[in-house]
Structure 1
C-alpha cells in the first residue's frame, strides 16, 4: 500500500542497477526538499536514535498526514524524502497500515545502509507512526 510517489521511486530504482547510482538518487531526493525552518528544529521534533541530527515536523489536516524534515547528513535527508513519499498524503489509518519495512525492502535499502543508518531509519518510521497514532 504505497503512494504513487513512492511507486515512482521503486520504478526509478529498477532502472538504476548499480547501488552507487541508487545512493546518489536518494541523496538527490533529499536535495530537492525545502529546508526545514530553523524554528522547527526543536527538541520536540528531534528524532532520537539517529547517528546524525534529524528533525521531523508533521501536520495533520482533515485526518491526513504530511511531514517535512531535515538532517545534517545528505543520505539521511534523502531517506527523509523517501519516507515523505511513502507517507505524505495518507490518512492516519493508512499510515499505520503501511508496512514500511516491506516497502523499503523493495528498494533494497536494508542491505546497503550501515547499521546506524538502519537504526535511524527505523527511528524515523517509529516517529511517523507515533504521530499518526496520536502519541
Structure 2
C-alpha cells in the first residue's frame, strides 16, 4: 500500500536525521503542530481507552476519505499521535484496516523508543479509528 504524500515527506525527514535526540526534537515539533481540539471535542466519548496518557480522537468521513483529529496531555504521545495522523488521514476505511503501525514507526526509526505501554496506547488509538470508520 502506498503512503500518502505527507507521510512520504515525514518519512524522508526522519530518515535524514542522525540520532535519537534529533528524532525526539522533530517528534515534539510534530506534536506542537497538532491543532488543539475544542473543549467540546475533549469529552469522555472521544477519549481513547487503553492509553496511560489522556488521548482524545475525532474522525469524519469526507468524500470517502477519513480525516482524524486528536490531542493528548503528554508531549511525546502528542508527537506520536501526530505522526500516526499523517499516516492515516485521507485513507478509506479499507485502507485504514491495512495500516501496519509497528512497520510505520520502524520506518521512522522510532520503534526502539516505543515502550510497550506507548505501543499499546498507539494501537488503542488505531483501533478507535477503525471503530469510527465502522460506525
2:75 corresponding residue in structure 1: 74
2:40 corresponding residue in structure 1: 39
Q: Return the alpha-carbon distance in structure 2 between the equivalents of residues 114 and 29 of structure 1.
A: 19
Q: State the TM-score, normalizing by the size of structure 1.
A: 0.92
Gaps of 5+ in 1: none
Q: Is the 8 A contact 1:2 1:103 kept in 2?
A: no
Gaps of 5+ in 2: none
Q: Is the 8 A contact 2:31 2:80 kept in 1?
A: yes
Q: Is the 8 A contact 2:48 2:124 kept in 1?
A: yes
Q: Return the alpha-carbon distance in structure 2 between the equivalents of residues 122 and 97 of structure 1.
A: 13
Q: Is the 8 A contact 1:63 1:91 kept in 2?
A: yes
1:131 corresponding residue in structure 2: 132
Q: Return the alpha-carbon distance in structure 2 between the equivalents of residues 111 and 10 of structure 1.
A: 16
Q: Is the 8 A contact 2:15 2:109 kept in 1?
A: no
Q: Is the 8 A contact 1:58 1:65 kept in 2?
A: yes
Aligned length: 134
Map Cα deviations across residues 87-106 of structure 1 (whole Å, 9 max, x no partner).
11112222122223222221
Q: Return the alpha-carbon distance in structure 2 between the equivalents of residues 95 and 114 of structure 1.
A: 23
The CA deviation at 1:11 is: 0.6
Runs of 4+ in 1 over 3 A off after TM superposition: none
